[in-house]
Amino acid sequence: MLRDTDSDRRRSGELHETGTLRLPSRIHFGYGVRRQLRTILAEHGRRVFAVVDPFLAGSPEFVRLHDELIADGFTVEVHTEVLPELPVDSLTASGTVAASFSPDVVLAYGGGSALDAAKLIALLVAHGGPLGAYYGENKVPGPVLPIVAVPTTAGTGSEVTPVAVVSDPAQEMKIGISSPYLIPVAAVVDPELTLGAPASVTAFAGIDALVHALESYTAAVLPVDWSETLPVFTGHNLFAGHLALEAVRQIAPNLARAVADGGDREARAQVAYGSLLAGMSFGPSGTHLSHALQYPIGAITKTPHGLGTGLMIPYVLQACVPVIPLRLAAIDAALGGSESDPSIAAHDAVDRVAELCHTIGIPRGLADIGVAQDDLPRIAELALRSKRLVDMSPIGSHPQTLLTILEAAHAGDRTLIADPADRGRRTPGARS
């Protein structure tokens, strides 16, 4: 009988699946919910430090919000120093500016970059620098300033997650700061604000949201020691599983529509909703190998986060087929599949994900984005440094496992990873 490799450990009682959710105390979703912002901000004080994507600071929506806040008696400082890739020195400077304003609350308004910047500015104001002291997990010593997060892209889920990612010239690749204290107090997700995002931003952010859901759902089931401080990411968990599958159901049928026609309000809403659910899912559970591998790939090729995670996900899932076929079969159903034989459905899931990536313009292979064959061992080595991510891998993190995935991704050929028993049996669609 087909089963996932962790089924026996669960049946024997060695592994119990548990549930963890850590979320903002308020989450609002839908067209129009941005009109709640004044009320929500007022719950935290009158001095608002607004960290705003520089492109959006002059947008009619933000100008209106700003004017309404001023009319209501708020004191607002608008800060638009959100640099691409979030260099750590620029954040330190922003933290100093913010501290001198003495804010009550931080408003985060923009894509994942602005949201992550706001989280780190709220951290710096509360606890001081340097940010390097907080790299890794659970290093933030206590609550940060309250953050009200308003995403304008549908993808990162940063409005609900405990992580922010920075670049530091002393590190070879971007590095995360993860702590439950970084979870915003409120997430206001209004798809209206995503309508202007260009097709490439929509595609890369949207596929990253799907990868968050897929990796949360396929994350390893980890033993959690409930008598100790909990890790930030706890692996596959009961609540996160439901949220992840619903995120897949929302994003998969709508992402290509939103990319093809940015004015498609229904598709925009479903993708924004799915992205939020995916963030709510992976915030407590974690993501794994596509993310670990994207960090060095992004550093070498200077390509966006979602392009890298989207490129890698079909290869990572292919490697998961022999280990967690039942979970992949459940993903296939969420993707719209109706195959009842799980051994076939697991493969179908990978084919469907690869097809979606292709449709929205994600390159098929690492060679297409300038990665050389010689770079692969170094990429594998660097990926292993992201312990919080590789620990969530359902297929372990042996360097050879990562190298096999990378070699297939370099060649753009998933059959190079296929289980020997499956080779030849399922070739259609296997070339990603």
Ligand X SMILES: NC(=O)c1ccc[n+]([C@@H]2O[C@H](COP(=O)([O-])OP(=O)(O)OC[C@H]3O[C@@H](n4cnc5c(N)ncnc54)[C@H](O)[C@@H]3O)[C@@H](O)[C@H]2O)c1
Cβ-count burial of 415 within 10 angstroms (0-12 exposed, 13-18 middle, 19+ buried)? middle
Q: 343 or 393: whose CB is closer to Fe ion?
A: 393
- Binding-site partner at residue 303 among ligand X, Fe ion, none, CB < 5 to 8 Å by type: none
57 Cβ contact partners less than 8 Å away, ≥ 6 residues apart: 78, 80
Q: 56 or 334: whose CB is closer to ligand X?
A: 56
Residue 393 found at the interface with ligand X (CB under 6 A)? no
Window contacting ligand X (CB under 6 A); options: 97-105, 192-200, 246-254, 324-332: 192-200
Q: 305 or 327: whose CB is closer to Fe ion?
A: 305
Kindly state the smallest distance separating residue 304's Cβ from ligand X, in Å: 7
H helices of 160-262, in order, are 199-218, 238-251, 255-260
Angle formed by the axes of helices 265-285 and 238-251, nearest 10°: 160
The span from the CA of 397 to the CA of 413, in Å, is 21
Residue 137 found at the interface with ligand X (CB under 6 A)? no
Window contacting ligand X (CB under 6 A); options: 41-49, 72-80, 111-119, 359-367: 111-119
Task: Identify whether the C-beta of residue 120 lies closer than 8 Å to the C-beta of residue 139.
Answer: no
Residue 157 found at the interface with ligand X (CB under 6 A)? yes
Task: Identify whether the C-beta of residue 285 lies closer than 8 Å to the C-beta of residue 234.
Answer: yes
Which of 51, 65, 158, 356 binds ligand X (CB under 6 A)? It is: 158
Find the binding residues for ligand X in span 305-334 (CB under 6 A). 305-306
Which of 104, 116, 348, 351 binds ligand X (CB under 6 A)? It is: 116
Residue 196: what are its φ and ψ, rounded to 5°? -85, -5
Window contacting Fe ion (CB under 5 A); options: 41-49, 200-208, 374-382, 395-403: 200-208
Q: 306 or 314: whose CB is closer to ligand X?
A: 306
CA angle at 59 for the pair 56 and 60, rounded to the nearest 5°: 155
Q: Which two structure tokens, joined as six digits, stand for 431?
A: 């070339």
By CB under 6 A, the count of residues binding ligand X is 30
Residue 283: what are its φ and ψ, rounded to 5°? -50, -55
Which of 208, 246, 348, 422 binds Fe ion (CB under 5 A)? It is: 208
Kindly state the smallest distance separating residue 206's Cβ from ligand X, in Å: 9
- Binding-site partner at residue 194 among Fe ion, ligand X, none, CB < 5 to 8 Å by type: ligand X
Three-state secondary-structure class, residue 137:
strand
Q: 48 or 360: whose CB is closer to Fe ion?
A: 360
Site string for ligand X, 69-108 (x = CB under 6 A): -----------------x----------------------
Residue 375: what are its φ and ψ, rounded to 5°? -75, -20
Cβ-count burial of 213 within 10 angstroms (0-12 exposed, 13-18 middle, 19+ buried)? buried
Angle formed by the axes of helices 199-218 and 238-251, nearest 10°: 150
Residue 386 found at the interface with ligand X (CB under 6 A)? no
The span from the CA of 206 to the CA of 103, in Å, is 32
Kindly state the smallest distance separating residue 279's Cβ from ligand X, in Å: 7
The span from the CA of 77 to the CA of 69, in Å, is 11
- Binding-site partner at residue 395 among ligand X, Fe ion, none, CB < 5 to 8 Å by type: none
Amino acid at 324: I
Residue 163 found at the interface with ligand X (CB under 6 A)? yes
- Interface residues with ligand X (CB under 6 A) are 53, 55-56, 86, 110-114, 116, 152-153, 155-158, 161, 163-165, 193-194, 196-197, 201, 204-205, 208, 305-306
